[in-house]
Amino acid sequence: MFDDDEVTVEPVSGHLRITQLHEIAMYGKVFTKMAELAVYGKAARNLITSAVAALNDRLAPAVQRPITGLRPLVWSVRRGRGE
């Protein structure tokens, strides 16, 4: 959501362009609430790092190699919609 004129939604199978004012208002409310619940910056990095560590611990017996490469994910959050 970039402004009050249009909302773009990208589900797995396509692309939606929302232009009806009452629908844009609904997305605006949801976006605001999600932004209030989100964590940013160092707190976000710590949360992601903890989740990756927990996943590695859980999958360790089945996976030869741990999950790495947190930097591209964090870069994408910083450059995209995160900070």
- Give the residue from 50, 45, 16 showing the smallest Cα distance to 6: 16
β 7-9/16-18 pair status: antiparallel
* pLDDT score for 20: 94
Domain-wise residue ranges, the chain: 7-37, 41-79
The overall pTM is greater than 0.75: no
pLDDT at 66 over 50: yes
CA distance 25 to 31: 10
pLDDT at site 40: 93
- Tokens representing 43? 């707190």
